[in-house]
Structure 1
Amino acid sequence: MKKQVQLKNGTRISYQEAGSGDTPIVLLHGFCGSSDYWHLVLPLLSASHRVIAVDLPGHGDSSAPGPDETYSIELFAENLHAWAQETGLDRFHLFGHSLGGYITLAFAEQYADLLKSFGLIHSTPFPDDEAARQNRDKGAESIKSNGIEPFIKALVPKLFAPNHVQTMPEQLALAKEIGLGTDPNGAIQTLRAMRDRKDRLRVLQEAVLPILLVAGKEDQVIPPEKTFVVQKAQVQQVLLPSAGHMGMLEVPEELAGAIKTFLDQL
């Protein structure tokens, strides 16, 4: 059962929560996903922690942008901050998948005092290069012209390790179902926000908080070398050998184990 909070700016944030504990774990999903991306990880983590998985604006059951509203990664972070204030979260661990990782870095840049640690799951601090920016625009035009269904059907197989496309039909079907539930204008605005995001490598380099970096060896979207970009004492790197871009659906036990091991060492 999802809970909902209405922010002062009118944005409605939907989220699901499980477990108990002193310092919550907050999970952010990727583009055209929802909190349901974490449905296999939630029970594994909530056995020992309080876990909250959020529907980002324009995704899942959270509110979608109006026709004149413009998204940015910074706005996603501001809305997450407002949601945390509304729900009374003092300090928490923040882990973001892909798009969620971009937002995690923006949040860590602005609101590090609210975090106990943070992590990037199949994500990167680097901005889009010119080819990727052009692909974002093509994606936005495709959704505007043809609706979201052809876009999602083309996108989802690329998110999984090549061999999992054949061996994990249920997981692919779930990812497609979740993707098709994304508001088309929300997807368009999010594509533009990702296209225009800034380089946040410095956030990783200068952070004093513990950081978890997780990559899939078979990731065709963000390869490990774009995730494992900082090496220092408080940074832990975990490679998921058989995962593509969707570790939470492809290897949930491994991903949950990596998060638990990281937190246990704090």
Structure 2
Amino acid sequence: MIEQNIMVRGQQMHVKMTGADTLPIIIFLHGFTGTSSTWIEVMESLEGSFKMIAIDLTGHGKTDAPAEPNRYAMEEQVEDLAALFSTLNLKAFSLVGYSMGGRIALAYTEKYPEHVHTLILESASPGLKTEQERQARREADLKLARRIKKQGIEQFVSFWENIPLFESQKQMSIECQQKVRMERLSQRELGLSNSLIGIGTGNQPSFWEKLRTLRLPVLLITGEIDNKFVNIAREMNVLIPKAIHRTVKNAGHAIHVEKPTLFATMVGEHVKKQKI
């Protein structure tokens, strides 16, 4: 696996790449507090069948963490990806996004559909429907951002890993839990707090009204324990013309972490069906 830092729109972006240039391309976008490393097991399972690229998003992992929260905004991150893909000469690919990365993947696809063969969204949403919901979320995320700056990464991670969204991860092996914890602890206060302010769900536009305009195949993956996102995916499935919704048994929010081999199989089979 090759690791590389690439200058994109004035900031260094870190990527992991594997696979021959002649193979179909899959790009992976992680969630909040994650890095490209979260996809390693999935990528290893798909080795030999695809060229794969996992990206550290702005403020995460080894990608730069700008001081200005506006630099983390959805439209900025979409343009970062567009510039990165252009630099890497990636013209057509399948795009996988988890949670925050899924929101960014959806926004990118809405703006640049000609580059995306198929979109795979894991536990992701199109944003919040009303301004009232967005305002409440902005206030909550701002409080959380201040908490990170005040208490530091370690206390924040101890809080974050115990929220109900990640309860099912306590069923994983101690080794897997520790790996996830170390990935979260590797983050920077500035990157996480600015991500909450700049690209939190309350700060992004709602894409609910645009789902009907998506013309490409979309796979929605949710864990059955994650009721909130199962319900969101059901709503999305009704609106997106070529959507398929798959729910994974005994899994929560992060299926690719809890059941990486199964997740890889689902992604691989879906991409191969597109006859790229």
Name whichever of 196-205 and 50-59 sits farther off. Answer: 196-205
Does the residue aligned with 1:33 lie in a helix, a strand or coil? coil
**SS state at 1:66 partner:** coil
C-alpha distance in 1 between matches for 2:54 and 2:155: 27
TM-score of the aligned structures, taking structure 1 as reference length? 0.92
Q: How does 1:106-255 map to 2 (within 5 A)?
A: 106-127=107-128, 129=133, 130-158=135-163, 162-192=167-197, 193-194=199-200, 195-219=202-226, 222-228=228-234, 229-231=236-238, 234-255=242-263
1:18 and 2:18 correspond: yes
Matched residue type, 1:215: T
Cα distance, 1:23 vs. partner? 2.8
Distance 1:97 1:153 in 2: 21
CA separation in 2, counterparts of 1:180 and 1:132?
Answer: 24
Q: Percent of aligned positions with the same letter in both sequences?
A: 26
- The 3-state SS of whatever aligns with 2:161 is helix
Q: 2-side partners of 1:230 and 1:171: how far apart?
A: 31
Q: Distance in 2 between matches of 1:142 and 1:102?
A: 24
SS at match of 2:167: coil
Aligned equivalents of 1:249, 1:148: Cα separation in 2 = 21
Distance 1:199 1:18 in 2: 34
Structure 1 residue 202, shift from structure 2 partner: 3.0
Shift of 1:18: 1.4
**CA displacement 1:6-57 (0-9 Å, x = unmatched):** 11x2111111111234431000000010001111101112231111111111
CA displacement at 1:141 relative to structure 2: 0.9
For the 8 Å contact 2:58–2:72, the answer to whether it is kept is no
* Aligned positions, number: 264
Equivalent positions of 1:69-84 (< 5 A) are 70-84=71-85
How many Å separate the matches in 2 of 1:161 and 1:64?
A: 25
CA deviation after TM superposition for structure 1 residue 151, in Å: 1.2
AA aligned to 2:127 is: F
Instruction: Tell me which residue corresponds to 2:60.
Output: 59
Q: 1:166 and 1:117 mapped to 2: Cα distance?
A: 31
Q: 1:34 maps to which residue?
A: 35
3-state SS of the aligned residue for 2:145? helix
1:96 maps to: 97
Cα distance between partner residues in 1 of 2:241 and 2:4? 37
Q: How far off its partner does 1:4 sit?
A: 1.5
**Given the superposition, is the C-alpha separation of residues 256 and 159 from structure 1 closer, same or farther in structure 2, using an over 3 Å criterion?**
farther
Q: Shift in Å at residue 134 of structure 1?
A: 3.0
Q: Secondary structure at the match of 1:137?
A: helix
* Higher normalized helix content (fraction of residues): 2
1:107-153 superposed Cα distances (whole Å, 9 cap, x missing partner): 01111111111121111113283543332122101011111221111
Aligned in 2, Cα 1:13/1:159: closer, same or farther, shift over 3 Å? Answer: farther
For the aligned residue pairs, the C-alpha RMSD in angstroms reads 2.0
Q: Distance in 2 between matches of 1:205 and 1:160?
A: 28
Q: 1:263 to 1:67 in 2, by over 3 A?
A: closer
Matches within 5 A, 1:35-50: 35-50=36-51
Shift of 1:178: 1.1
Query: Is the CA contact 2:212–2:241 (under 8 Å) kept in the aligned structure 1?
Result: no
